[in-house]
Structures are given as structure tokens and as C-alpha cells.
Amino acid sequence: MSNCGPLGWVSDECGYRYQPSHPETGGPWPPIPPALVALWRALARFGDPPEACLINFYGAQAKMGLHQDRDELEFDAPVISVSLSDSCLFRVDGRRRTDPTRSVRLSSGDVLVLGGASRLAFHGVDRIYPGTSSLLPEGGRINLTLRRVTRSGPDLRTDQIPSAEAPSENKHDLY
């Protein structure tokens, strides 16, 4: 997992959190590529830019259990997901874990927006379909997720960054 943008998602002995610096180098995360910022502007229907782009790799056997993305302070902004390389079976349901689920196959180049009523929907990856793309020579799936972390406003203030918490079943480091 890696990140780009003003904030990056990290996990360590203190828990999961967003922070403005790489945990090993102490330097800032690289900027979000302009093409992804343009995608955000086109799809987000939200005035402020994304602050984090999580970059995750899924191997052939990888899965991600149902979870909600609740670590951001700005729930009015969507989470935008870009799928690259091998396809996956993506599962989504409602705001309660007991709500009925539906599954959709996401292929390389697909973009998914979790916004509005679906912003806090439980979601996960049931399986990867190996060999469905030639984008990565060794196979696997890359997922890019664009997020607004802090509340809307002109400046990123460090007092708005959610603080570290102990991990819970809804926290994750693969999305």
C-alpha cells in the first residue's frame, strides 16, 4: 500500500490514521496526478479537491472484508475508486452490515463512486479474477481511491486530521 496527496493512510502500532508525512521517510507524500484530480472534478460533485489517494495492490488470492470508510471527517465528499489490471468481484450493501448485498464485477478502467446515500455503505472485495488483464506482467489488481479527509475549507489544517485510534473491525489497511 502507498499513497499520494497531502494526506496518506497509514497503520502502525498506534492504529490507523491519515497523516501528511510518509512514516519511514518523514517526507511528504507525492502529489495526486493531475489526471486523477481531473477525474475527481468530473465525478465528485464536490467543490474541494481530494486530499488522499490510497494505492493498494491485490494479489491473485486477496480479499477485503465488508467495511465502511468512516475515518474521514467529510462524509459529504464521495470516495472514488479506480480499478486497474485484473478484475474483481466487488460487494456492496447498505449502511448496516445486515442489509442485503449485491455484487458487481469491476474491470480495469472501471470507476466506482460511493457518494450520497452510498457514501457509508458497507463494501468489500470477494475475489480477484487472475489473468483478466495484461496491464501488470505478474498479474494482480491495483485500486486507487480518492478521498476528501478533512472538512471543506480553503486550507488543510493539521488539527482537522483524524487522530490515531486502536484498530476495530471496521478499520482497514487494504482500501
Task: Give residue limits of the domains in the chain.
Answer: 32-156
C-alpha Rg value of the chain to the nearest Å: 16
pLDDT tens readout for residues 58-102:
999 999 999 988 889 889 999 999 999 999 999 998 788 888 889
65, three cell numbers: 472484508
* Superfamily name with CATH number, domain 32-156: Alpha-ketoglutarate-dependent dioxygenase AlkB-like (2.60.120.590)
Distance in angstroms (rounded) separating the CA atoms of residues 69 and 114? 10
- What integer pLDDT is reported at residue 19 of this predicted model? 94
Cβ(144)–Cβ(82) below 8 Å: yes
- What integer pLDDT is reported at residue 49 of this predicted model? 96
43, three cell numbers: 465525478
Question: Is a pLDDT exceeding 50 seen at residue 166?
Answer: no
* Residue of 52 and 155 predicted with greater confidence: 52
pLDDT tens readout for residues 99-154:
888 999 999 999 999 999 899 999 999 999 999 999 999 999 999 999 999 987 65
16 alpha carbon, distance to own chain's centre: 13
- What integer pLDDT is reported at residue 9 of this predicted model? 94
113, three cell numbers: 463512486
- What integer pLDDT is reported at residue 156 of this predicted model? 52
Cβ(4)–Cβ(29) below 8 Å: yes
Partner residues linked to 103 by β-bridges:
91
Question: Is a pLDDT exceeding 90 seen at residue 28?
Answer: yes
